[in-house]
Amino acid sequence: MATIAIPLCMSLLIICATSTPQTDDPTKKLVFVLGDSTADVGTNNYISTPLKANFPHNGVDFPGSQPTGRFSNGFNSADELAKSFELMMSPPPFLYLLTLGSGFRQQLCKGVNFASGGAGLLDTTNVNNTVPLSEQINQFATVRSNLSATIGEPATEAKLNKSLFFISIGSNDIFLYFNTSDAKTPPNTFITMMLSAYSQHIKALYGIGARKFGIIGVPPVGCCPFSRLIQMNLTGTNGCFPPMNDLAWAFYLALDGLLLNISSELPGMKYSLGNTFNMTMDVINTPRNYSLFRSVDAACCGSGVLNAEGPCNETATLCSDRDAYLFWDMFHPTQEASFLAAQALFFGPTYVSPISFSQLAKE
């Protein structure tokens, strides 16, 4: 773990910008998604993990009011970004497609979602309870091999060179830094570790054929209801938890420099960096300027103080005016927040640089 909205307290995305074979319509984009719980549309339903969302009240505003594995009341950031590219929603999870047997390759033309709740830049983040980013990239390599076997290597390479790779991840690493012994590591050293991992992941995707990257920065994770509860327990006041936000902002600045350097080293690489830190802080400081948010501190679904003392489940307290809430549960944005964030990233120009995601697609 959100115009504006925010992949709030967390999220990685890949969108393969190309026409679908069925329609040959250039406005329809083939979408691939990687990341954490803000982009997970059911991956964790297929692995053994406590990090699941395939139960109520999750999905209360999804078509049919069905929980799908999304950590949201409805669509999540992966869906909203996909819809910005004229798709109905995010494509299905890779692990679901594997259950289709011989139908696996036929579904690739509709895109694939690899995102897994709990994933981080580091393989040690939520180890054994998520599909780590490195494994998600391996899964994408499998998809690439199958595309090549289906349409040929030249066509596959051309398709990937035109694709958009949207990545939003890093929040879980920061959460775990403050909740494990990793906090003994100096912050600057930890940021260096995260940057090194990010560099390796980008270069791995580049090696598979990626050239256009839409990078979503880490939001102010210290402002989630979960983090506010920490601050409240420490000081007795309802505010953001500064140490988490300081680390998130420092990482954003470092990531900005990393992308500048990498793009000069890798021929043909282009990128857009989304500043979800300032995006989220602007929503929190002036909520009336962004949609109809009336609550930017408490979770819509949960229990206890700020609805942050218990998880969102069937017995949790559920707000009735969900579009008025920035946060769905103690970590994740509401559907409304995800929609506004996707719009801000797609159209720009305030929270993206040097170009917007839509401009990146046209490059």
Q: Which residues are catalytic?
A: 37, 329, 332
Cα(142)–Cα(149) distance, integer angstroms: 11
Q: Tell me the H-state helices in 152-186.
A: 153-161, 171-179
Contact 38, 338 (CB under 8 A): yes
CB-based burial of residue 1 (10 Å sphere; 0-12 exposed, 13-18 middle, 19+ buried)? Answer: buried
Cα(40)–Cα(75) distance, integer angstroms: 10
DSSP tag of 103 = G
Cα(72)–Cα(288) distance, integer angstroms: 22
CB-based burial of residue 346 (10 Å sphere; 0-12 exposed, 13-18 middle, 19+ buried)? Answer: buried
Closest alpha carbon to 31 in 116, 133, 143, 120: 143
Token code pair at residue 102 = 């011989």
Residue type, 179: N
Give residues with Cβ within 8 angstroms of 234, minimum separation 6: 241
Cα(255)–Cα(276) distance, integer angstroms: 13
Total count of residues recorded for the chain: 363
Cα(223)–Cα(238) distance, integer angstroms: 10
Cα(113)–Cα(11) distance, integer angstroms: 13
What is each CA distance from 207 to 19, 30, 210, 317, in whole angstroms? 23, 20, 7, 47
Closest alpha carbon to 10 in 82, 116, 93: 116
How many angstroms separate the first and last alpha carbons of the chain? Answer: 30
